[in-house]
Chains A and B, each alone.
Chain A
Amino acid sequence: MSSGLDYFRQNRLPHIWCPGCGHGTVTGALTRTLAKLGIDKNNVVVVSGIGCSSRASGYLDFDTLHTAHGRAIAFATGIKLSRPELKVIVMTGDGDCTAIGGNHFIHAARRNVDITTIVMNNNNYGMTSGQYSPMTPTGMLGTTAPYGNVERPFDLANLAIASGATFVARGTSYHVQLLGEMIEKALLNPGFSVVEAVVGCPTYYGRKNKIGGAVELFNWQKDHAVNVKAAAAMAPEKLEGKFLIGELYNKAAPEFTAEYARLVEGVRRKFDDFQGGVRGCAQNSD
């Protein structure tokens, strides 16, 4: 059996992430899950955008595509529609996915295209040194929110569910076991799957907001995350200021590339006496 490390380009390590950053933990959870599922490396494409989290693609031993800011899901949509047999995974961050990439995110969810999207949410733009993002809680500090963030954040899971994603979960870099389980379910769901991984950014978010370093950020995750199953039995006031982790949504729906393949099959049957290509032009195929 392969180990998680087999899925890394070991000659590209060590990674560039800061000590205490959660991105490596999330990437490790992904590779261990892929190893557990025995997924063939040659059949996986990892697509990422721009930002700290999006550097993950370079360390992984697949066909990997480090794209432009916000566009990972759109590139991934092209790959998946072109070659539905490939397992397509997007690794992105809160800024990349929900600000500049928000449009692609909701439309991929709407189409229910079979892509697993792992959003590493560190509540700020780490790569550019700690500006507030669409997922920075109101009142928290960022280098462009020196007096506190006046905006309201997205609830990524609710956004994904409302947009049509068919599997939605949340984990943290503290609850690594659960995170792996959620990634596993996401990978197995034939549709658009979203796993939000809450991670600490000790260099900027933690320091700027005086939460502390890596240890304090892990403790913060431990103290504020409530498993959705436990939450069901808790009084609402007990859940104030907390966030839910675990499987938040799981409901099957027609998957885009499979539906398109069905459409193509129907059209081709209808035109199966079709010779010499399109309107007198050359015939093309895959």
Chain B
Amino acid sequence: MPEAKLMQGNEACTLGALTAGLSFFAGYPITPSTEIAELCSEELPKVGGKFIQMEDEIGSIAAIIGASLTGRKAMTATSGPGFSLMQELMGYAAISEVPIVVIDVQRVGPSTGMPTSLAQGDVMQARWGTHGDHPVVVLAPGNVRECFDLTIKAFNIAEEYRVPVVVLSDETIGHMREKVVLPELKSLTIVDRKAPAAPAGYLPYKADQDGGVPLMAPFGKGYRWHVTGLSHDETGFPTNKGDVAGALIQRLMRKVEKAEPLLRDYATESADDCDVLVLAFGSSAMSATSAVRQARAAGVKAGLFRPKTIWPFPEEPLRELASRVKRIIVPEMNLGQLVYEVERVVAGKAPVEKLSKVNCELFRPEEILASIMGGSK
């Protein structure tokens, strides 16, 4: 039996990354994510990996894209201000299809905000932070064990689909310590990117137009291919042809759309027969779970829907539940971000209520319970 350990969320993210095969980390110190960089600087040399503290967050994401191109699994970790700085190169990773993982341990914003306090204000930045249409996958752990599991999943998705993947943690999840039993290594699936067999005839961006993923050659192995942030054709060289550029964007977006049923990850509790559905992610979901249990104990049919894959949003299971419930409450530590996606998906099948909080303190279960018991405000 694997032993139970007392572990912090940020530590679990790092261990998950190392388990997934992380061998290159570049980062810049920022609260509340810094433990991840510290632990990487300590552990990576032991396993022949590389760590570098760059001059800023832009340099950090640039360095991991460079390292990933040489065939390594590479990651950075940051928080809101640093995540904002990384956005241009999130788009670069998306268009050049270089697998990377970015852990964003959210804190209060905008700007410097409150570095050591809780918020969930980066939901939309994680999805739409860089300019232009682009694919991105965002995973939100709801406890320490999930920091481990979802970081592995993040690497697997990045490698399989050649997309940037964000692990959207938050100050509470990142700093909280919980008793964790890690899974047996043999039980885990670790995915590596698919590489071409030989350089002859290699077309680096040739793929099925319906969301296909091209084969990725590592730099330094004789393929001599070109990578650019410019719109390009299947040779990888820039194109000025609008239809070719358009087809590229369509394929990039389709990669994730098509994979959504496979990427989809969510948890429910007492949701099958509920009247009031609470939809929450990350640290808010811990309070929501407690609130739902208290409501049930008081005889109210409450249920929980907790997305772990936030983008792409798990539309189908929510839509199915929405047609059976009387109300949906969305507590989140911001003034309304994920709730708008919920409204779009639910499309009027049930009233959707926003429950916002931005005072830097985790929801108390009673606050969510009051909303469950009290009906529409």
A75 touching B63 by the CB < 8 A rule?
yes
Residues of chain A within 8 A of B59, CB atoms compared: 71, 74, 77, 103-104, 107
Determine the distance from Cα of A78 to Cα of B72 in the docked complex, in whole angstroms.
10
Question: In chain A, residues 60-87, which have Cβ atoms closer than 8 Å to a Cβ of chain B?
Answer: 61-68, 71, 74-79, 81-83, 85-86
Determine the distance from Cα of A37 to Cα of B56 in the docked complex, in whole angstroms.
35
Known A64-B226, A285-B23; contact A58-B238, beta-carbon cutoff 8 A:
yes
Size of the chain B interface, CB-CB below 8 angstroms = 53
Name B237's contact: one of A12, A281, A284, A286 (CB within 8 Å): A12
Residues of chain A within 8 A of B92, CB atoms compared: 67-68
Question: In chain B, residues 199-240, which have Cβ atoms closer than 8 Å to a Cβ of chain A?
Answer: 219-230, 237-238
Determine the distance from Cα of A86 to Cα of B220 in the docked complex, in whole angstroms.
7
B45 touching A268 by the CB < 8 A rule?
yes
Residues of chain A within 8 A of B69, CB atoms compared: 63, 65, 79
Q: Does B74 contact A (CB under 8 A)?
A: yes
Known A82-B67, A271-B46; contact A71-B89, beta-carbon cutoff 8 A:
yes
A57 touching B221 by the CB < 8 A rule?
no
A277 touching B18 by the CB < 8 A rule?
yes
Residues of chain A within 8 A of B45, CB atoms compared: 263-264, 267-268
Known A71-B89, A279-B15, A281-B18; contact A83-B220, beta-carbon cutoff 8 A:
yes
Determine the distance from Cα of A211 to Cα of B17 in the docked complex, in whole angstroms.
57
Stretch from B47-55, B171-179, B350-358 at the A interface: B47-55
B55 touching A66 by the CB < 8 A rule?
no
B224 touching A66 by the CB < 8 A rule?
no
Name A78's contact: one of B66, B190, B237 (CB within 8 Å): B66
Question: In chain B, residues 132-165, which have Cβ atoms closer than 8 Å to a Cβ of chain A?
Answer: none
Determine the distance from Cα of A25 to Cα of B62 in the docked complex, in whole angstroms.
29
B221 touching A75 by the CB < 8 A rule?
no
Name A79's contact: one of B54, B185, B219, B237 (CB within 8 Å): B219
Q: What bracket does the count of chain A residues touching chain B fall in?
A: 35 or more
Q: Does A260 contact B (CB under 8 A)?
A: yes
Determine the distance from Cα of A76 to Cα of B26 in the docked complex, in whole angstroms.
13
Question: Chain A's nearest CB lies how many Å from the CB of B216?
Answer: 12
A284 touching B229 by the CB < 8 A rule?
no
A64 touching B52 by the CB < 8 A rule?
no
Question: In chain A, residues 254-274, which have Cβ atoms closer than 8 Å to a Cβ of chain B?
Answer: 260, 263-264, 267-268, 271, 274
Question: Chain A's nearest CB lies how many Å from the CB of B75?
Answer: 12
Q: Does B328 contact A (CB under 8 A)?
A: no
B225 touching A63 by the CB < 8 A rule?
yes
A42 touching B66 by the CB < 8 A rule?
no
Residues of chain A within 8 A of B229, CB atoms compared: 66-68
Q: Does B21 contact A (CB under 8 A)?
A: yes
Question: Chain B's nearest CB lies how many Å from the CB of A17?
Answer: 15
Determine the distance from Cα of A57 to Cα of B236 in the docked complex, in whole angstroms.
12
Q: Does B101 contact A (CB under 8 A)?
A: no
B54 touching A74 by the CB < 8 A rule?
yes
Q: Does A282 contact B (CB under 8 A)?
A: yes
Question: Chain A's nearest CB lies how many Å from the CB of B26?
Answer: 6
10 more CB-based (< 8 A) A-B contacts, given A67-B229, A286-B23: A42-B222, A65-B69, A67-B92, A71-B62, A78-B66, A81-B50, A82-B50, A278-B47, A279-B15, A282-B185
List 9 A-B residue pairs with CB atoms under 8 Å apart, sorted by A's residue number. Answer: A45-B220, A63-B220, A65-B219, A65-B228, A67-B92, A68-B88, A267-B46, A283-B47, A286-B49
